Amino acid sequence: MLTLDVNDLKAIWLSLKLAALVTSLLLVIGTPVAWWLARTRCRFKGVVESVVALPLVLPPSVLGFYMLLAMGPNGPVGAITQALGLGLLPFTFAGLAVTSTLYSMPFVIQPIQNAFVAMGSRPLEAAATLRANPWDSFFSVALPLAKPGLITAAVIGFAHTIGEFGVVLMVGGNIPEKTRVISVQIYDHVEALEYTQAHWLSGLMVAFAFLVLLLLYGLGGGKPKVPGP
């Protein structure tokens, strides 16, 4: 019998809400970045790619620590948010969303970039011969051809955000209904020796991860491309 309590359900709902918001933000912000990286010959491309891929190799606690400082009362982001009357972002859902967006960035941008690169330049050249302007070529040609990459990016980004722990605990803390996500709720259960509840939530996470991989294998017809530096 399923033994999830009210706090477990609230943590699940908060995690889903956070993952949906972060994935949406990354698709809007990351798609033009991925397009630029796929098409540019700028000498600073490697620098931008390194920044995008940094969360892949950086410990979550390190990113969380520096985001905590940046968004704190003496940090540059904190100064801006206070000047705008928004208050401070640490230990809030908004701060959690900002940090999670940065942490999940490579898991969304890299699959989209790979899709744009795989597309090649011929479809765009064909569109240009038909007098399509760059905006038409992007929205009518590039985006439809990159659809599998966009779907893969959305699925991986959503799943990665659901599973975050270190960075969300560092920036969001453990506030019920505000920053306590599934991973933190599991940690609380284990800390309180409530292994049955921890088993149920962990089992749901395992099932969720399996379904995500099953979906990616089905979409790709084989081994999904895992983002990497």
Please write the tens of the pLDDT for every residue from 103-143.
Answer: 999 999 999 999 999 988 888 778 778 777 878 888 888 88
Average pLDDT, the chain: 88
User: CA 142 to CA 46: how far, in whole Å?
Assistant: 23
* Predicted confidence band of residue 222 (pLDDT cuts 50, 70, 90): very low
Does the pLDDT value for residue 36 go beyond 90?
Answer: yes
Does the pLDDT value for residue 156 go beyond 80?
Answer: yes
- Domain locations along the chain: 6-220
* Predicted confidence band of residue 228 (pLDDT cuts 50, 70, 90): low
User: CA 79 to CA 49: how far, in whole Å?
Assistant: 28
Task: Tell whether the torsion through CA atoms of 55, 205, 113 and 94 is positive or negative.
Answer: negative
Does the pLDDT value for residue 200 go beyond 70?
Answer: yes
Per-residue pLDDT, averaged over 144-152, amounts to: 90
Whats the size of the chain, residue-wise? 229
Longest distance between any two alpha carbons in the chain, whole Å: 67
Place of tokens 């520096």: 66
Please, what is the Cα angle at 117 between 63 and 137, to 5 degrees?
A: 110
Percent composition of the chain: helix, strand, coil (DSSP 3-state, to 5): 75, 0, 25
Please, what is the Cα angle at 50 between 220 and 73, to 5 degrees?
A: 115
Those residues with Cβ within 8 angstroms of residue 10's Cβ, 6 or more apart along the chain or in another chain: 176, 177, 180
The reported pLDDT for the residue numbered 139 is 86
Provide, rounded to the nearest whole percent, the portion of the chain with pLDDT above 90. Answer: 56
* Predicted confidence band of residue 32 (pLDDT cuts 50, 70, 90): very high
Tell me the per-residue pLDDT of 184-197, one tens digit each, with 9 for 90 and over: 999 999 999 989 89
The reported pLDDT for the residue numbered 31 is 95
The reported pLDDT for the residue numbered 22 is 96
62 backbone φψ class: left, alpha, beta (φ>0; ψ -120 to 50): alpha
Domain covering 6-220 in this structure, CATH number? 1.10.3720.10
Per-residue pLDDT, averaged over 83-103, amounts to: 92
The reported pLDDT for the residue numbered 221 is 46
User: CA 208 to CA 109: how far, in whole Å?
Assistant: 22
Does the pLDDT value for residue 178 go beyond 60?
Answer: yes
Does the pLDDT value for residue 71 go beyond 70?
Answer: yes
Q: What is the pTM of this model?
A: 0.88
Q: What is the 3-state secondary structure (H, E, C) of 114-170?
A: HHHHHHCCHHHHHHHHCCCCHHHHHHHHHHHHCHHHHHHHHHHHHHHHHCCCHHHHH
Highest mean pLDDT among 23-37, 183-197, 210-224: 23-37
Provide, rounded to the nearest whole percent, the portion of the chain with pLDDT above 70. Answer: 94
